[in-house]
Structure 1
Amino acid sequence: MNTLIPVAIVLFALSAAATGADFDAADYHDKSCTRCHDENVYTRQDRRIQSYPKLEAQVARCDANLGTKLFPDDLQQLTDYLNESYYHFSR
């Protein structure tokens, strides 16, 4: 019983670290997303993405196509970053 508490604390700390708490959406975008396309894809007149749900779906597609396997929270942060920086959709 006495060893369960320290083990639980360590497991909790490891799971918290694995959730992507250090994820920086802007940095990730600058290093990863711009390898495939530049920022014009977000600002062009005929852009395909016309709503927040479609933006979420596109970010998930990019993640799947590239096999980066971002955590769901990281995908959400990246979607929010793109929305706040370029799209300005209401949620």
Structure 2
Amino acid sequence: MGIMTRRRASIRITMPLAGLVMFWIISAPLAAQDFDPGRALYQNHCQQCHEQWVHTRERRRVSTLGGLREQVASWSVHAGLQWTSEEIELVTRYVNRRYYQLTE
């Protein structure tokens, strides 16, 4: 096998591999942007009991963003989650975006 043949074989292997690496480098930040920690907290700790109807019912308990924040904080205590204020805020923002669309 001559030098040129080995180089061509090397290029045939290297180019697709380089393409895959570039795709991974470009797509990794996009996947990270899709992750919502508020959504993850809600899905892991709240969604078992709080199905969509709780948030969309006609006579729901929350009518302000502050009230929603208070409800999230209250339920985090009742559930024994010991969430930080940041986690409460993340869940509040997620639930507000998803169901309530309340403004300050």
TM-score, L = length of structure 1 = 0.71
Greater RCO (Cα-Cα under 8 Å, separation 6 or more): 1
Structure with the bigger percentage of helix: 2
Residues 39-78 of structure 1: per-residue CA shift (max 9 Å, x gap):
1111111111111111010001001101101111111011
CA RMSD of aligned residues (A): 1.6
Dislocated runs of 4+, deviation >4 Å: none
Structure 1 residue ranges without an equivalent (≥5): 1-22
Matched, 1:34 2:57: no
**How far apart are the structure 2 equivalents of 1:40 and 1:86?**
10
Letter in 2 for 1:73: E
Residue identity (%): 26
**How far apart are the structure 1 equivalents of 2:82 and 2:67?**
19
Which protein is bigger by CA-based radius of gyration? 2
Structure 2 residue ranges without an equivalent (≥5): 1-35
Partner of residue 21, structure 2: none
TM-score, L = length of structure 2 = 0.62
Cα offset for 1:85?
Answer: 1.0
**How far apart are the structure 2 equivalents of 1:39 and 1:27?**
16
Partner of residue 81, structure 2: 68
Letter in 2 for 1:27: A
